Amino acid sequence: MTLRTVAEHRERVLAVLPTRHRTRRVPLEQAHGLVLAAPATAQEAVPRFDNAAMDGYAVRHADLRVGGVLTVVGEVRAGVAPAFEVAAGQAARIMTGAFLPEGADTVVPFELTDDGRDQVRIDDVPDLGRHIRRAAEDVEVGDLVAESGVVVDALTLAALAATGVADVLVVERPRVAVISTGSELCPPGAPLGAGQIPESNSLMIAGLVEEAGADVVSRTSVPDDPWAVETAVRAAEEAEADLVVLSGGVSAGDYDVVRLSLADRLEFVGVAMSPGRPQGVGLLGDLPVVAVPGNPVAAAVSVEVFVRPAVLTLAGRRETTRPVMSALASQGWTSKGDREQYTAVRLELSENGAWAHPLAPGSHRAGSLAAVEGWAVVPLGTSAVRRGDRVDVLVVR
């Protein structure tokens, strides 16, 4: 059987997604965490006007000399436009951010004067134009503030607000339904019978897609029953999900219910990766579906490399992959040379660089997931990693 590469299957997953995003215009205060669907341009210059960069005196530089005395003609506070000009031999007390009065071309900080109120003595002479913020020296009206595809984080939000942007066009958060399958699964904390285990995949997958910027519109666990799977998928459609993620039942076993139920509508393939070889993808009508293995570590890796890029694409993000860190293997481990292997690692930063400490292998090790800080990616054709070898690590924490 010919296996797909990870890159090929990722492309197949992205190919079933709609090509158009759902967008809406929102007030700026509702945009935090969303992705811009259109560029945002400055509606106001920054600064809007010439203003003082320090508390001091607004003066004419030509009047300045060490020991010279100027007449103080007024005071300018932030938020108040001055009703006077600074003429020859005059000065105005001015506060940081306040509008520079006409005639002034320099600000002398208080600490370079005797801090006089009616008259002020100049004890040192700054350069011409010092301590003045010129209008539009940062941003001019019409300048690009943030490009389409940018996440409106706190710093972007501040830049948009400062440039007078009142509302923005954003991509709506993708709506994802998560369905975990397996008759052995019980809610966490529930009494367990023989052969039963706590269900964890739906919580993990829902959390991962939420961290990627999606809203989980439904999360459920169903037994190995085709009718239950069909009912859960219909509920996802009724919840207007943009994407359904199924976990479990995707292999070739007698009770792999997802494959048995949906083989005529989804494609189930082997992917050259470990863990996570069996995968499913396709459309149920217009609804994109990604099916991943049920073993928790395999599910986590599959969500990382296939579902997360899909969610970020639906969210309008330009970057759909995690940051990659180059790290040194702290010890060796074997790898299946015919597959791209994802090894759970803990990361350590030292003066010699980053070290990747592999965790115990096994796609069933759900209890070890809390320690995972990254996935070391061992490429096809590599059968072993030795201590000190460099590995690329997808950083997840």
Predicted pLDDT at 366: 77
Predicted pLDDT at 360: 85
150 versus 253: the higher-pLDDT residue is 150
The mean pLDDT value for 107-132 works out to: 98
pLDDT tier at 17, thresholds 50, 70, 90 = very high
pLDDT of 252 over the 90 cut: no
Tens digit of each residue's pLDDT (9 = 90 or more) over 90-110: 999 999 999 999 999 999 999
The mean pLDDT value for 321-345 works out to: 94
Question: Whole-prediction pTM value?
Answer: 0.87
- The domains found in the chain, sorted by start residue, are 6-21+173-314 (3.40.980.10), 23-46+137-171 (3.90.105.10), 51-133 (2.170.190.11), 324-395 (2.40.340.10)
pLDDT of 140 over the 90 cut: yes
Q: What is the mean pLDDT of the chain?
A: 95
Tens digit of each residue's pLDDT (9 = 90 or more) over 168-216: 999 999 999 999 999 999 999 999 999 999 999 999 999 999 999 999 9
Q: Which residues contact 212 (CB under 8 A, 6 or more apart)?
A: 308, 311, 312, 315
Say how far apart CA 292 and CA 278 lie, in whole Å: 7
Give the residue among 206, 146, 141, 136 at the shortest CA–CA distance from 178. Answer: 206
Tens digit of each residue's pLDDT (9 = 90 or more) over 341-391: 999 999 999 887 899 999 987 656 778 899 999 999 999 999 999 999 999
Give the residue among 190, 250, 184, 176 at the shortest CA–CA distance from 219. Answer: 176
pLDDT of 1 over the 70 cut: no
Chain length of the chain: 397
Predicted pLDDT at 362: 66
